């Protein structure tokens, strides 16, 4: 197994799948400002996808492109964490997920800036600027919606309950993570858990939301061993043109 | 509809003030929110700017329909950015309308309950990826024809919104044309999609300029007020004259047997769209009217708890700050 390739797929697929989910909001957000902000987030994530998957394709060296990786792989070849592939459901879950993701991405990308791999460091530096902007907004929104009304608090609590079991996957180190840590490409994800928990606890407290007790974590996304049922549907939509017209230039 | 409203409102104003107002407009002055204006001017502008804003918002839907199916990462990003621009246009325009004393929420309610309209074009479906090309090329192209002159409209906030919007619309038009170029240079299936898109969007695009001048009784007052800068037929002709050579360049056939260059007039002769279809569409019977409004209604309803929570949170925050002082 090419560990660097796997590592890059994980970064790219997280950005791609979350960017796609976010793009599903186009035109139907709760307010015009949110439409614009969600589109902005989606755009940043699709841009990051191009960088990560572009580099992944180079590292693989099989002549594939970022677009081949995005549009011509099957679900079991995707390496995103499960959390980003579950459906948006409502604005509350969408923003809660974005916040959980951002709370990981900010310290993670920060650490990747000093990666032994120059390209990784460059992509991380560019992505970090965006992630910092994203977390300012997602944390603020989670707080507003948790604090807002009884109804909004209940909805955010439900979003939290749904997503919580998906938050732990990213912190479970595996062979790819250990190989990357050995090569100085990336820290072990488990080492970021404390920082993530501190950010999350602070924000959830300010949002009047109760952090679930359970430490249970679903797994299978980052390894590709068992995705949710939702990913296949997402890919069926996203990949339709590339699959229906192989080789066409768009 | 416009004319009737303008007449009944305008006659209530003092004739001397009306004359002074008209003199300012004739002198090329901009009218600003705090200036006196005839009630008919204000109401007509609200209607026009509101309809324009609603068109930007509803217009997100037919293109949003393909964001999740865009064929490459680049196309996905471009389309996302475009639809984001349209939301921004909606925002500028609602802000311009607000300077006339109507809130964004009020305008939204009027859209949802059918008191206000949006452009007929967005009641047509987007069925293949080529439609993303055709919409950018033809629909944004037609929008530009309409909006470039409006940069000189008499109402300051509207004119300034138009300046920002027009820059982005011409970018959208080029982006759409590039999608079409890729399609016509592609496989047989892609060429077929491109021609099919032109076939479906040509006449609806011509309808965007509104009914023929001989049937459009509302124009005179609006043109005197410089709310409307050109007649419908002038703009339609300009659009045809600019678009036909582009279609030829693409190797596509405009679906009009009567289309030909007229040496005498220096313009293309072309067939009028089916106006009975146009009136069907604006009265609610277009292919997508119900779906478009349902989608906006659903977004509005689904988002209600979010908007309420944001307001409640802002109030709580203010109260907490006051208590701490
Ligand atoms: Fe626009
Ligand atoms: Fe537009
Ligand atoms: Fe546009």
Helical (H) or strand (E) element with B95: helix B73-98
* Structural domain boundaries, residue A134: 3-244
Determine contact: B184 vs chain A, CB below 8 A: no
Q: Which residues contact B305 (CB under 8 A, 6 or more apart)?
A: A149, A151, A152, A155
Number of domains in chain A: 1
Is residue A249 included in any domain, yes or no? no
Nearest to B37 by CA among B93, B86, B88, B101: B101
Model confidence pLDDT, tens digit, residues A25-50 = 999 999 999 999 999 999 999 999 99
Distance CA B51, CA B48 (A): 5
pLDDT band at B217 (very low <50, low <70, confident <90, very high): low
| Predicted confidence (pLDDT) per residue in A102-146, tens digit | 999 999 999 999 999 999 999 999 999 999 999 999 999 999 999
Task: Fill in the DSSP letter of residue B128.
Answer: S
Q: What are the pLDDT digits (tens) for B31-48?
A: 999 999 999 999 999 999
A199 assigned to some structural domain = yes
Element (H, E) at B260: strand B260-262
- The reply to whether A91 touches chain B by the CB within 8 Å rule is yes
- Residue A201 burial class via C-beta count within 10 angstroms: exposed 0-12, middle 13-18, buried 19 and up: exposed
In a domain, A250, yes or no: no
pLDDT band at residue B214 under the 50/70/90 scheme: confident
Q: What percent of chain B has pLDDT over 70?
A: 96
Identify the pLDDT of residue B6. 29
Residue A90 placed within a domain: yes
Q: Which of A42, A50, A145 sits opposite B306 (nearest CB)?
A: A145
Q: What is the pLDDT of residue B9?
A: 44
Higher pLDDT, A143 or B215: A143
Nearest to A91 among B57, B72, B306 (CB): B306
A window 146-185, beta carbon within 8 A of B: 147-149, 151-152, 155
Predicted complex ipTM: 0.97
B313 touches chain A (CB under 8 A): yes
Helix, strand or coil for residue B194?
Answer: helix
Task: Give the length of chain B.
Answer: 325
C-alpha angle with apex B60: B58 to A132, nearest 5 degrees?
130
CATH number for the domain harbouring residue A75: 1.20.1260.10
Per-residue pLDDT at B7 = 34
Residues within 5 Å of ion ligand 1, judged at the Cβ atom: B 56, 86, 89
User: Which residues 181-200 in chain A show a CB within 8 A of chain B?
Assistant: none
Measured between CB atoms, which of B68, B183, B189 is closest to A238? Answer: B68
With bands split at pLDDT 50, 70 and 90, how would you rate the model's confidence at B3?
very low
Between the CA of B84 and the centroid of ligand 1 the distance, in Å, is 9
Q: What is the pTM of this model?
A: 0.95
- Dump pLDDT digits (tens) for B233-281: 999 999 999 999 999 999 999 999 999 999 999 999 999 999 999 999 9
**What CA–CA distances, in Å, run from B277 to A160, B121, B124, B184, B281?**
49, 12, 12, 29, 6
């Amino acid at each position: 197994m090419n560990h660097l390739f796997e590592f890059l797929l994980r970064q790219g697929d997280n950005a791609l799948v979350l960017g796609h989910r976010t793009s599903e909001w186009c035109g139907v957000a709760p307010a015009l400002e949110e439409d614009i902000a969600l589109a902005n987030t989606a755009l940043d994530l699709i841009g990051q996808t191009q960088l990560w998957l572009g580099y992944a394709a180079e590292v693989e060296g099989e002549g594939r492109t970022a677009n081949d990786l995005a549009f011509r792989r099957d679900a079991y070849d995707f390496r995103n964490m499960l959390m980003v592939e579950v459906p948006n459901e409502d604005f509350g879950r969408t923003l809660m997920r974005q916040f959980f993701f951002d709370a990981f991405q900010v310290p993670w990308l920060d650490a990747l800036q000093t990666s032994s791999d120059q390209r990784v460091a460059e992509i991380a530096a560019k992505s970090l600027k965006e992630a910092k902007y994203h977390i300012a907004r997602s944390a603020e929104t989670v707080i507003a919606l948790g604090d807002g009304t009884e109804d909004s608090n209940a909805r955010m609590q439900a979003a939290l309950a749904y997503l919580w079991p998906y938050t732990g996957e990213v912190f479970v180190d595996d062979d790819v993570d250990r190989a990357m840590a050995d090569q100085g490409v990336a820290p072990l994800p488990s080492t970021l858990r404390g920082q993530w928990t501190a950010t999350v606890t602070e924000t959830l407290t300010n949002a009047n939301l109760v952090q679930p007790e359970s430490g249970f974590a679903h797994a299978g996304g980052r390894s590709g061993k068992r995705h949710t049922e939702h990913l296949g549907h997402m890919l069926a939509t996203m990949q339709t043109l590339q699959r229906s017209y192989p080789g066409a230039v768009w | 509809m416009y004319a009737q409203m303008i007449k009944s409102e305008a006659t209530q104003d003092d004739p001397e003030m009306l004359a002074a107002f008209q003199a300012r407009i004739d002198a090329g002055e901009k009218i600003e929110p705090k200036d006196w204006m005839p009630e008919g001017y204000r109401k007509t502008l609200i209607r026009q700017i509101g309809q324009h804003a609603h068109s930007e918002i509803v217009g997100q839907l037919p293109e949003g329909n393909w964001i999740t199916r865009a064929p490459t990462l680049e196309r996905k990003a471009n389309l996302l950015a475009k639809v984001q621009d349209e939301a921004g246009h909606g925002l500028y325009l609602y802000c311009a309308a607000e300077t006339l004393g109507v809130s964004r929420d009020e305008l939204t309610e009027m859209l949802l309950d059918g008191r206000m309209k949006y452009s007929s074009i967005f009641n047509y479906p987007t069925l293949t990826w080529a439609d993303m090309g055709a919409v950018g090329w033809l629909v944004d192209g037609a929008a530009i024809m309409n909006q470039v002159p409006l940069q000189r409209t008499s109402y300051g906030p509207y004119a300034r919104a138009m300046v920002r919007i027009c820059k982005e619309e011409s970018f959208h038009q080029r982006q759409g044309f590039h999608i079409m170029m890729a399609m016509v240079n592609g496989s047989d299936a892609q060429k077929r999609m491109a021609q099919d898109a032109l076939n479906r969007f040509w006449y609806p695009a011509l309808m965007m300029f509104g009914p023929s001048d001989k049937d459009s009784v509302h124009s005179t007052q609006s043109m005197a007020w410089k709310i409307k800068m050109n007649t419908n037929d002038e703009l339609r002709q300009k659009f045809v004259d600019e678009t036909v050579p582009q279609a030829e360049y693409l190797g596509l056939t405009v679906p009009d047997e009567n289309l030909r260059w007229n040496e005498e007039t220096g313009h293309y002769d072309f067939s009028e769209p089916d106006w009975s279809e146009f009136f069907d569409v604006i009265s609610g019977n277009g292919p997508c009217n119900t779906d478009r409004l349902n989608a906006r209604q659903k977004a509005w309803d689904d988002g209600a708890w979010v908007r309420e929570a944001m307001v409640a949170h802002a109030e709580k925050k203010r109260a907490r700050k006051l208590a701490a002082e």
